[in-house]
């Protein structure tokens, strides 16, 4: 079912999300994939927990580093656990994921951005109370 060279099936169908790409593969190959994913995820987690409490690096850089590590770890989970990859037969799954990520981005960044500026431009509560007297 596959051309042996790349492991890509010869028919031009689709692959189900979560299903594994290599058809006829040995269980050992599957286990190896999950082990690589687990290793990378554990590494990202340990680094995250370590830098959240460290004083070794410039403190304001820590939140940015944590967010980068979290996004990297989510990528690891998506590729090695959910098996959503950029293979041509996985296009529909990737398109749905891309749209989901877009909506999540707009929702979170948009909310934080708007509310930050709203807080910034508001009269402080104490002054508002004084004005009412």
Report the residue from 92, 122, 127, 130 that binds other proteins according to the rule CB under 8 A: 92
Residue 86 to residues 37, 43, 64, 93, 124, Cα–Cα distance (Å): 17, 24, 27, 9, 50
Interaction between residue 16 and other proteins (CB under 8 A): yes
Distance CA 108, CA 74 (A): 16
Distance CA 119, CA 113 (A): 10
Report the residue from 3, 5, 6, 13 that binds other proteins according to the rule CB under 8 A: 13
User: Helix/strand/coil (H, E, C) string of 36-89?
Assistant: HHHHHHHHHHHHHHHHHHCCCCCCCHHHHHHHHHHHHHHHHHHHHHCCCCCCHH
Interaction between residue 88 and other proteins (CB under 8 A): no
Interaction between residue 126 and other proteins (CB under 8 A): no
Report the residue from 3, 5, 6, 52 that binds other proteins according to the rule CB under 8 A: 52
Interaction between residue 129 and other proteins (CB under 8 A): no
Assigned token pair, 89? 């037969």
* Residue ranges in contact with other proteins by CB under 8 A: 1, 9, 11-20, 23-27, 30-31, 33-35, 37-38, 41-42, 45, 48-49, 52-53, 59, 62-63, 66-67, 69-70, 73-74, 77-78, 81-82, 89, 92-93, 96-97, 99-100, 103-104, 107-108, 110-112, 115
């Amino acid at each position: 079912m596959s051309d042996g060279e790349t492991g890509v099936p010869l028919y031009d169908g689709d692959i189900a999300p979560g299903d594994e790409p290599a058809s006829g593969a040995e269980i050992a190959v599957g286990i190896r994939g999950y082990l690589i994913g687990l290793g990378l995820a554990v590494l990202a987690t340990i680094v995250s927990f370590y830098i959240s409490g460290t004083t070794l690096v410039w403190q304001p850089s820590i939140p940015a580093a944590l967010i980068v590590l979290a996004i990297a770890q989510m990528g690891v989970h998506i590729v090695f656990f959910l098996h959503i990859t950029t293979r041509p037969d996985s296009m529909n799954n990737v398109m749905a994921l891309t749209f989901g990520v877009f909506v999540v981005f707009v929702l979170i960044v948009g909310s934080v951005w708007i509310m930050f500026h709203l807080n910034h431009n508001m009269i402080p509560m104490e002054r508002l109370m004084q004005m009412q007297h």
